[in-house]
Amino acid sequence: MAGLLPATGRWELWHPWTLAALVLLGAGYLRWVRHASRRGHVTVAAGRIACALGGLGVLYGAIGTPLADIAVHSLFSAYMLQQVLIAFAAAPLLLCGLPGGLLQPMVRRAGWTAAVSAATRPVTATVCFHLLFGALFLPGVLDTLAAHRGAYLGAVIVLTLAAACMWWPIASPLPDVPPLPDPGQLIYLLVNWLAILVAFGLVLFGRGLPYAAYAAARLPPGATPTLDRQLAGAVLGVLSHAAYGVAVLTAFFRWANAESSTATPLRLYRRLLAGGFNEAQAGEIAGVRPDGVP
């Protein structure tokens, strides 16, 4: 392991400034939802808070731990793991952590509803995410990110936003820009699943590593650049398939439960309450009285 890490202090390998920034984000989020709860606006579910904090934790694991240094200096498979953690774990968790009851008034006041709607349209979100995700593995792009920390952090932010837009039609927290109907979600997820299979095949069945960033890397005994590339393909395949598989099963069973129930307004009302809206907001949107009666 020591040969995989750059010659720097142990503390620097854990990127304290990155940790401090993410801790501040987490503290700001908790203060935001606690303040809203005390003022009686909304009550944010514990599961939603756990998703937000979990997303920040996964993001730190990807860009703040020694994995970040191994990814840009030693192993292409570590770089792949980093990108997959950001796109298929951190981004959806952070999206699920957004309380719609607090976010929707802010988006409306800022006039961002149209912009959010445009950025999260299924075709736009799918094309933009997969083009960006693929571009991050181009030799010129990867070598530039490895050489410039600022560009690297900028790419992380852009990838997180693009991945959040890709997941938005599945887990949108805003009634103004709602998720797709459950059947549409299944089709959308399968299209994205097929798109990631293209990247999986290109990585897994290629040979060697055409990257200057890894030219002088000291690989573990018995490892070769081709083996490193194949391991990267396996990481992409297993983790992306797991993420899409869970999402497909969730959408399918939600659709099946919806088909077996006739209380559509009541289901919407309860879903809005779970999403962080107060009773008055949920009742107005769902068309039911505050006591939950249609």
Q: Is residue 278 part of a domain?
A: no
Check: CB of residue 180 under 8 Å from CB of residue 188: yes
* 292 pLDDT above the threshold of 70: no
- Which of 12-26, 39-53, 90-104, 264-278 shows the lowest mean pLDDT across its residues? 264-278
Q: Mean per-residue pLDDT for 88-115?
A: 91
Higher pLDDT, 103 or 54: 54
Three-state secondary structure readout of 109-121: HHCCHHHHHHHCC
| pLDDT band, residue 262 (cuts 50/70/90) | very low
Q: Is residue 179 part of a domain?
A: yes
Q: Is residue 274 part of a domain?
A: no
Q: Is residue 30 part of a domain?
A: yes
pLDDT at residue number 8: 58
Q: Which residues have C-beta within 8 Å of that of residue 93, sequence separation ≥ 6?
A: 51, 52, 54, 55, 58
pLDDT at residue number 245: 94
Full residue range of the structural domain in which residue 73 is found: 2-260
Domain count along the chain: 1
Q: Mean per-residue pLDDT for 92-118?
A: 91
Query: Please, what's the b/e burial string for 59-95 (b: 16 or more CB within 10 A of its CB; e: otherwise)?
Result: bbbbbbbbbbbbbbbbbbbbbbbbbbbbbbbbbbbbb
pLDDT at residue number 193: 94
What global pTM score does this model have?
0.86
